[in-house]
Amino acid sequence: MNEENKPKVRFFTVEADDAGQRIDNYLLKTLKGVPKSMIYRLLRKGEIRVNKKRTKPEYKLQDEDIIRVAPIRVSEKSAPVSTQLNVVANLESQILYEDEVLLVINKPSGMAVHGGSGVNFGVIEALRALRPQAKMLELVHRLDRDTSGCLVVAKKRSALRNLHEQLRKKNVQKFYHALVKGRWSPKLTKVTEGLRKNDLKSGERVVIVDNINGKESETRYKVIQHYDGATLVRAFPVTGRTHQIRVHCQTKGHPIACDPKYGHEDFDGVMKAAGLNRLFLHAASIEFTHPRTEKRLKVEAPLDNALAKALKNLKTSQSK
């Protein structure tokens, strides 16, 4: 074996940002490609030590702990990334904002935020391929697969905790643009129907309006532009329920254009004739307090070409 390729002992010094994290979770992210079972085996055998002492998987790391990892060999599985190189390369150009603790990306429509449920490659996997040296890249929130726009990813655990707390306290403002069926009344500024997840016999999950057993939900709306047979609205979800904006639009008789779950077939036909071939729901902007500077940060995502061209092909309508 070539000496240069021979596995070597590795040392990691725990930074303050990682303090309080279980060692097994830390190693899963740090030792990329090493199976979880191997990490537990190495811990059990004492081949991973903290400050020269044996440790257990549930040990919570302290600032400046020194972790020693014995030489290990794993086969790097790069196939999932190599088959998606064009997607990975495209994501680089979709990064809207980035600093040392977070980044905001304009997520493309049709791309899941992470692998799972039959999807083995999502935005987070692509970003990790783009930033192989990043110790941590974690989703702060989620977007539906068909929805495009602002998606925040944390690069530090402290930023993730801070932003999750802001989400809980409703200190994060997310504005969406949606093209909906018909003429949305400027007087309809708030929808508050309760929502409940419902599993169909086919196994598909949909969300239905249920004001008795459903979760309390609220979306605020503002008309941006009326078109012949359609309206572009701005939606602000006060709560963050699954498919909230889509179902709230549908229940008021204004389903979103080309929505495969909650859409209107005839309306979708008209929109497809105008060149639209995807759900017209876009996370246009996000605003929050920056975890490090403590200043308000607002990031805006432009409409992709498909949405922008569809709007150009529609005839505007004057307010009545």
Catalytic residue among 144, 146, 259, 268: 144
Task: Report whether 251 contacts 241 (CB < 8 A).
Answer: no
Strand pairing of 148-154 and 281-289? Answer: parallel
Exposed, middle or buried, 70 (CB in 10 Å: 0-12/13-18/19+)?
Answer: middle
Task: Report whether 91 contacts 111 (CB < 8 A).
Answer: no
For 266-296, the three-class secondary structure string (H helix, E strand, C coil) is: HHHHHHHHCCCCCCCEEEEEEEEECCCCCCE
For 19-83, the three-class secondary structure string (H helix, E strand, C coil) is: CCCEHHHHHHHHCCCCCHHHHHHHHHHCCEEECCEECCCCCECCCCCEEEECCCCCCCCCHHHHC
144 catalytic residue (yes or no): yes
Task: Report whether 128 contacts 146 (CB < 8 A).
Answer: no
- Supply the residues annotated as catalytic: 144
